[in-house]
Amino acid sequence: MGLDTFIRRFADCRILVVGDVMLDEFVWGTVDRVSPEAPVQVVLVNSNTRTLGGAGNVVNNLAALGAEVFAVSLVGDDQAGRDVASLLQGLGATVEGILIDPARPTTTKTRVMAAGQQVVRIDREKVLPLSPEFEDKLAAHAEKCLQSCDAVLLSDYGKGILTPSFISRLLRACATAKKPVVADPKGLDFSRYKGATVLTPNLKEAAKACSMEIRSQQDLEKAGARLLHELSLACLVITCGPDGMALFFPNRPSLRIKARARQVFDVSGAGDTVMAVLGLGLASGADFEQAALVANEAAGVVVGKVGTATVSAEELLEALTSSADSVSRKFRSPKGLAEDLQGQRARGRKIVLARGCFDLLHSGHVGFLAQARKLGDMLVVALEDDASVARLKGPGRPILKQNDRLRVVSALDSVDFVTVFNGDFVDLLKALKPHVLACGREDAEGDYKKIVESHGGRTQKIAVDQALSSAGIIEGIKNSAN
Ranges of each domain in the chain: 3-311, 334-481
- pLDDT tens per residue across span 147-163: 899 999 999 999 999 99
Mean pLDDT comparison of 191-195, 385-389, 471-475, highest-scoring range? 191-195
pLDDT band at 222 (very low <50, low <70, confident <90, very high): very high
The answer to whether 150 is a known catalytic residue is: no
Which residues have C-beta within 8 Å of that of residue 146, sequence separation ≥ 6? 16, 152, 173, 174, 177, 179
pLDDT band at 330 (very low <50, low <70, confident <90, very high): confident
Q: What is the structure's pLDDT at 354? A: 93
Q: What is the structure's pLDDT at 194? A: 96
Asked: is 3-311 a CATH 3.40.1190.20 domain? The reply is yes
How far is the CA of 24 from the CAs of 28, 135, 309, 314, 467, in angstroms? 13, 25, 11, 25, 52
pLDDT band at 121 (very low <50, low <70, confident <90, very high): very high
Grouping H, G, I as helix, E, B as strand and the rest as coil, residue 476 is: helix
Mean pLDDT comparison of 29-38, 149-158, 240-249, 350-359, highest-scoring range? 149-158
Q: SS3 letters for 206-243?
A: HHHHCCCCCCCHHHHHHHHHHHHHHHCCCEEEEECHHH
Half-sphere exposure of 458 (CA within 13 A, CB side): 7
Strands 117-124 and 108-114 come out as antiparallel
What is the rounded CA–CA span in Å between residue 441 and residue 277? 43
Across residues 240-269, what is the average pLDDT?
75
The one-letter amino acid code at 58 reads V
Q: Is the dihedral of CA 292, 294, 300, 304 positive or negative?
A: negative
What is the rounded CA–CA span in Å between residue 447 and residue 427? 11
Fold of 334-481: Rossmann fold (3.40.50)
**Of 240-249, 340-349, 420-429, the least confident:** 340-349
Annotated active-site residue in 24, 150, 272, 359: 272
Residue 49 has pLDDT above 60, yes or no: yes
pTM over 0.85: no
What is the rounded CA–CA span in Å between residue 350 and residue 412? 19
Q: What is the structure's pLDDT at 260? A: 62
Which residues have C-beta within 8 Å of that of residue 395, sequence separation ≥ 6? none
Residue 387 has pLDDT above 90, yes or no: no
> Can you spell out the DSSP letters for 167-180?
HHHHHHHHHHHT--
- pLDDT tens per residue across span 304-323: 665 557 888 888 887 776 43
